[in-house]
Structure 1
Amino acid sequence: MSVAKLKITPTKIIPILLFIFLIVLRFWKSAEWFSFNFDEEYQALLAWSQVKDFHPIWIGVSASNFGFYLGPAFTYLNALLFWIGNGDLSVLAYFSSFFGIITTISLYFVASRIFSKKVGLISAILYGFSALLIYFDHRFWNPTPIAFVTIWLLYSLYRAEKDTRWFILSTIIMASGLHLHLSLMVYWPLVIFLVLKNIKKISLSIWMISIFSYLAVVSPLIVFDINHNFDDLLGPIRYVLSPKTSGSVFGLDQLIYHLNNVWFSISRALYLKPYTNIQEEHGLGAHGDMTRPVFLISLFVVLIFVWFFRKAIKERKFQILAWMIVSILLFYLLYPSIGCEYYLLGFFIMTTIVLGLFLEKVSWKLLTPLFAIYIAINSVTIFTTTQSQYGLTTRRNLINQIMPLIGNSPFSLETVGKDPRPYHPYGGWRYLFQTYGNHPSSSSADEYFGWIYPDEFTSEKLLYRVVISEVISYSDMNTPIATVSSGVFTSYIFKLNQ
């Protein structure tokens, strides 16, 4: 082999170094910062019940207020990870960071195959180093795979235009959406349109495999509905017929709110302020000190979208991407309740492709310093993150201080904070105690999740009352026998009268 062939050039070494740094950034303090809240606890308790006593389940977590339950696939994945890690949440933290890297690689592959390697690399850099999206990958709940599923649906639909066998993958992906998040269902009109457009090219075998695959993936939901008078299937229909009963009615206020959120989010996906954290940026519980949008960033991205949609009208290769973006935006804007930012995870990953297409003609001499600045700014945000005070390690340390004080005695668990609701803003603690300490005999979580662990209730007389306060001080007519703190959390331990 000649020396020339072994020569290492900047064009070869820089992408390798970038990828190594991306791995470091995305795994940085994965377990320490892991954000475990009410929604994550709901999923975790369902998954742990499978580890304790495996049995077929037909549904997973509920989907918003539509009266619909998702399929159990994500619960099974969570249970598998818990089985590997013996219930330790660290395994979810590391898997989520790893999955974010897999999604970034998938984005590079898909954008490179559909458009060009340069578009793929630009998109992967923008997505992979985004502080906001790294924050999302420090959580683990059913929306986690949305971006991954979206990018592979995009790829399958593009490939299906030339080879209809790819509709089989499209069908499987759409079926999997019923196990993950209902926002993925908004792509059905586009999928159906493309199927009808290519219907003459679809063979009987492709139809049969697609139908069988779809039914196989959604079979748990079918079994559940057959045994429950189609209650799950009829849930969204009841919602549409009587939306006021769920407290969700579309109006101008929601439309304006969601328009503002899109404007905010397209800036936040590219820039978050330093010294912030996941709880604030995701508005978890009583938190909500989010990074405000940078006007010029939002305006710049909106103008790029104008350019893109004008190109999409004339150029077919942009049209599937354009219609997928329109689909998710229409869903979000017209959503008849408060739409959270994570509903836009599919939009974010497609936005990076649009930006990649716009920047494709810009020379690397100009792009290199721009990306260096982008990576540096987002890295500063990550390295100055103040999430540790709320994260998994901090919570586990608090439990480690509490347990020697109460031993194996029966105790109740309560949570308090700035938000007056008893548990929803402070969720996670019940599962944390059962994993790193001992399960409480009663807790604030029981009202919401007690049906998952009925075997863990006990008639034993409570000997201790444990109150966990977030940020604020807690006072009671009784005096605690001990007070311990970790991060923003303080625990007050009361001895109950015998």
Structure 2
Amino acid sequence: MKKRIISWLKNNWILVLILLVGAFLRLYKINEFMTFLGDEGRDVIVVRNLLVKADPILIGPGTSIGSMYLGPLYYYFIAPFLFLFNFSPVGPAVEIAFLGVITIFLIYKVSKEWFGETASIFSSILYAISPVVIIYSRSSWNPNIMPFFALFSIYSIWKVWKEKKYNWLIVTVISYAFVLQSHYLGLLLAPVLFIFWLISKVPVKYTLIAGSVFLFLMSPLFIFDIRHDWMNTKAFYKFLTVRQETVSIKPWKAIPNVYPIFVDINTSLLTGKNLLVGKIITPLIILSLAWFIAVRKRIKQFNKPLLVLIIWLGFALLGLALYKQHIYDHYFGFIFPALFILLGFILQFVYKTKFKILAILIFLILVFVNLKNSPILFSPNRQLQRSENVSKDIINKSLGEAFNFAVVAERNYEDGYQYFLEKENSKMVEIDPQIPE
């Protein structure tokens, strides 16, 4: 057994090194770097009530736009680590960091299986050191689980389509349920999965089993909706049909926005927020892709994994281009892996041509700009410590008397403090803001 482990480490030392670097960048002083504000406080309050009071959860976090609720899978997902860390919010953050490292491994595995070892090295290294990816891999927040489960959804439907392993359809629907319950932009992954399910001609038996599993995982949200006069369904319908200031229902209007959004995504994820490099790398990606497709067309052979990536990114860009509000980095979570796998493939393709030196140069430039802007080079925010210290100070000053707690702030930050006030069994009294007397 020992010899087999040593042999595996010798054969996979590059992967091990990449994973160690990725783990370090995500776990380094995680208790000081992790985000802990209103959303994070709200989540641990809900999960603590589940663990301490056996209070079942039927809905997840609310959306920032549209007054809708996600499903509760994320809350059940982080519950074990909150318990294992003695109800410290650091526990779920560590869990997300571990999931981030597993995502690096999955990117390496998928890239290697689809395109080759060189592509897998390029893609996994760049994913491991991407500042934006690191930031969203070291805090407990519902959108932060999207990259792993989105990639696992795509990889499992690939198994169904290409290898006819129909049992993987169950993995697909489980993974997609997590995606959909982490952020509603996960809906943009649905047409991709549907297309490959359709062309796979899955036997009815497997479809029925997978469909039943998916409905079971979505059932808490469905039960909540029944109990509350279809509140979520009505809000979603209104979001799509009434809120024209948020989403355009005219697809042709998205076309002019596709390229600028692609530049923004590449700048955020691939170039460490370096706009100049982002503007350069985007046309290079498009031209290299066109070059590869032209070569394949001449030999009448198309790369099936590349087709998956193109469809995945195509629906994502079209959907994001229809969105009229500001697009934040975490909105890209469901395509985080796709971009890095695509870039790894392109770098490998160029590397194997007479322009090998160009591929190496681009890779080194990307490594430089990402490391230069690595979040561990900046001072930690210590939001968790501040919330805990302020809460302790409030408890001390209350002198054991009952008190009401409120925060005067532009956004919702009170849950971060409230969690520790509840955890320490303070005499905080909650009042209904609608009944001030």
| Bucket of the pairwise TM-score, normalised by the shorter protein | 0.7 to 0.9
User: Equivalent residues in 2 for 1:192-271 (5 A)?
Assistant: 192-199=194-201, 202-243=202-243, 248=246, 250=248, 260=260, 262-271=262-271
**Which of 155, 173, 176 is the aligned partner of 2:175?**
173
Matched, 1:384 2:377: yes
Instruction: Give the aligned partner of residue 187 of structure 1.
Output: 189
Q: Which structure has more RCO (C-alpha within 8 Å, separation ≥ 6)?
A: 2
SS of residue in 1 equivalent to 2:119: helix
- Kindly name which structure, 1 or 2, has the bigger radius of gyration based on alpha carbons: 1
Aligned alpha-carbon RMSD (Å):
3.7
**Which of 284, 298, 303 is the aligned partner of 2:279?**
298
Give the superposition deviation at 1:301.
2.8
Give the superposition deviation at 1:258.
8.4
Instruction: Give the aligned partner of residue 59 of structure 1.
Output: 59
- The 1:9–1:397 alpha-carbon spacing in structure 2 relative to 1, beyond 3 Å, is closer
- The 1:10–1:49 alpha-carbon spacing in structure 2 relative to 1, beyond 3 Å, is closer
Aligned-partner Cα distance in 2 for 1:66–1:106: 33
Instruction: Give the aligned partner of residue 331 of structure 2.
Output: 343
- The 1:265–1:196 alpha-carbon spacing in structure 2 relative to 1, beyond 3 Å, is closer
Q: Deviations over 1:421-460 (max 9, x none)?
A: 2x426762222443468464359xx769x9xxxxxx9x9x
Instruction: Give the aligned partner of residue 319 of structure 1.
Output: 307
Aligned-partner Cα distance in 2 for 1:416–1:152: 42
- The 1:250–1:368 alpha-carbon spacing in structure 2 relative to 1, beyond 3 Å, is closer
Give the superposition deviation at 1:154.
1.8
**Structure 1 residue identity aligned to 2:190:** W
Q: Deviations over 1:230-259 (max 9, x none)?
A: 332333223323226xx6354999998886
In percent, how many aligned pairs have the same letter? 21
Give the superposition deviation at 1:176.
3.1
SS of residue in 1 equivalent to 2:325: coil
Q: Deviations over 1:31-87 (max 9, x none)?
A: 111111222223222222212321433221223433432211111223333222232
Instruction: Give the aligned partner of residue 415 of structure 1.
Output: 407
User: Equivalent residues in 2 for 1:480-491 (5 A)?
Assistant: none
Write 1 or 2 for the structure with the bigger share of strand.
1
- The 1:352–1:172 alpha-carbon spacing in structure 2 relative to 1, beyond 3 Å, is same
* Aligned 8 A contact 1:309 1:322 in 2: no
Aligned-partner Cα distance in 1 for 2:290–2:213: 34
Aligned-partner Cα distance in 1 for 2:73–2:9: 45
**Which of 307, 323, 334 is the aligned partner of 2:288?**
307
User: Equivalent residues in 2 for 1:398-477 (5 A)?
Assistant: 398-401=390-393, 403-416=395-408, 421=410, 423-424=411-412, 428-435=416-423, 438=426, 440-441=428-429
* Aligned 8 A contact 2:43 2:61 in 1: yes
* Aligned 8 A contact 1:143 1:180 in 2: yes
Instruction: Give the aligned partner of residue 99 of structure 1.
Output: 99
Greater Cα offset, 222-231 or 84-93: 222-231
Greater Cα offset, 126-135 or 342-351: 342-351
* Aligned 8 A contact 2:130 2:270 in 1: yes
- The 1:218–1:311 alpha-carbon spacing in structure 2 relative to 1, beyond 3 Å, is farther
* Aligned 8 A contact 1:251 1:336 in 2: no
* Aligned 8 A contact 1:248 1:337 in 2: yes
Aligned-partner Cα distance in 2 for 1:310–1:436: 62
- The 1:340–1:208 alpha-carbon spacing in structure 2 relative to 1, beyond 3 Å, is same
Give the superposition deviation at 1:175.
3.0
Instruction: Give the aligned partner of residue 47 of structure 2.
Output: 47
Aligned-partner Cα distance in 1 for 2:260–2:361: 31
Instruction: Give the aligned partner of residue 288 of structure 1.
Output: none
Figure out how many residues of one structure are paired with residues of the other and give that number. Answer: 417
**Structure 1 residue identity aligned to 2:180:** L
Aligned-partner Cα distance in 1 for 2:419–2:7: 54
Give the superposition deviation at 1:123.
0.9
- TM norm structure 2: 0.82
Give the superposition deviation at 1:402.
5.1
SS of residue in 2 equivalent to 1:161: helix
* Aligned 8 A contact 1:172 1:217 in 2: yes
Give the superposition deviation at 1:350.
0.9
Aligned-partner Cα distance in 1 for 2:303–2:265: 28
**Structure 1 residue identity aligned to 2:124:** A
Aligned-partner Cα distance in 2 for 1:294–1:437: 48
Give the superposition deviation at 1:352.
0.6
**Structure 2 residue identity aligned to 1:343:** Y
* Aligned 8 A contact 2:177 2:218 in 1: yes
Instruction: Give the aligned partner of residue 33 of structure 1.
Output: 33
* Aligned 8 A contact 2:390 2:417 in 1: no
- The 1:8–1:320 alpha-carbon spacing in structure 2 relative to 1, beyond 3 Å, is closer
Aligned-partner Cα distance in 2 for 1:259–1:427: 39
SS of residue in 2 equivalent to 1:187: helix
SS of residue in 2 equivalent to 1:66: coil
Give the superposition deviation at 1:108.
1.0
**Structure 1 residue identity aligned to 2:286:** F
The unaligned stretches of length 5 or more in structure 1 are 1-5, 273-290, 451-456, 460-498
